A = this chain, B = another copy of it.
Amino acid sequence: MRKLITIAALLAATPAHPQASANVAAGRAQPSPLAPSEIVNAAPKDDWMAIPPSDLLVMDLAPDAKDKPRRVVIQLMPAPFSQGWVSNIRKLAAAKFWDGTSINRVQDNYVVQWGDANAEDKTKARKLPGDLAVVLQANYSSRLGKQEVVYSLQSAHPLGQDFITDGAGSKTRWYPIHPSRDAYAEGTAILAGWPIAVAPRATATDKELELSGWPVHCYGMVGVGRDMPPNTGTGAELYAVIGHAPRHLDRNIALVGRVIEGIEHLSSLPRGTGALGFYETPEERTAIVSIRIGSEVSGLPAYEYLSTESESFARYADAHANRRDAFFIRPAGGADICNIPVPVRRAK
Residues of A within 8 A of B (CB): 8, 11-12, 16-18, 65, 106, 108-109, 137, 140, 177-178, 180-186, 218-220, 228-230, 243-248, 250-252, 263-264, 267-271, 320-321, 323, 326-330, 332-336, 338-339
Contacts and interface: CB of A to CB of B under 8 A. Distances in A.
Closest 3 CB pairs of A and B: A183-B334, A264-B271, A183-B336
A186 B268 contact: no
B108 A264 contact: yes
Q: How many copies does the complex hold?
A: 2
Contacts of A12: 12
B244 A339 contact: yes
Contact of A339 (B219, B248, B333): B248
Contacts of A8: 16
Contacts of A246: 339
Given A16-B180, A243-B219, A271-B268, A250 B332 contact: yes
15 contacts: A12-B12, A109-B219, A182-B183, A183-B339, A184-B335, A218-B244, A229-B327, A243-B243, A244-B245, A244-B339, A247-B336, A250-B332, A252-B330, A267-B267, A336-B336
A304 to B, nearest CB: 20
A136 to B, nearest CB: 11
